[in-house]
Amino acid sequence: MRRAPRLTPPGSQSQQHSREKAYQDHRRKVRDAQPLVDTCAPLTPSHLHLKLKKLKLEEERLSVIDRDNRLLLERVSCIMRTRGQADSRSNCTPKSRN
């Protein structure tokens, strides 16, 4: 059996209009809603970004390298001043194995 199309009574048009307005208000609120939960990472304190202990150890390591380089340079310059003569003469007599 076919039903006849429903006609809205004249008084319900204002109700329908108020429902549409309420729905439009609801859609606007949903569209403009801001998140309530902060999902950003917390700010990291500056003392965790700048690792002072690591910088100090690096500075000490570089000072040891500089000191070793200076000692090597002194040795090389001493060798160059003395013309790199090696003492290949042996003043001791070979000992007998018997």
Which tens digit of pLDDT belongs to each residue from 3-14? 766 655 656 778
Output the CA angle 33-39-42, nearest 5 degrees.
Answer: 135
51 token code pair? 């690792």
Question: Can you point out the beta strands (E) in the chain?
Answer: none
Note the pTM of the prediction, 2 decimals.
0.42
Residue 10 φ/ψ, nearest 5 degrees: -60, -30
Give how far Cα 57 sits from Cα of 45, 46, 65, 84, Å. Answer: 22, 19, 12, 37
Average the pLDDT over 74-91 and give the result.
77
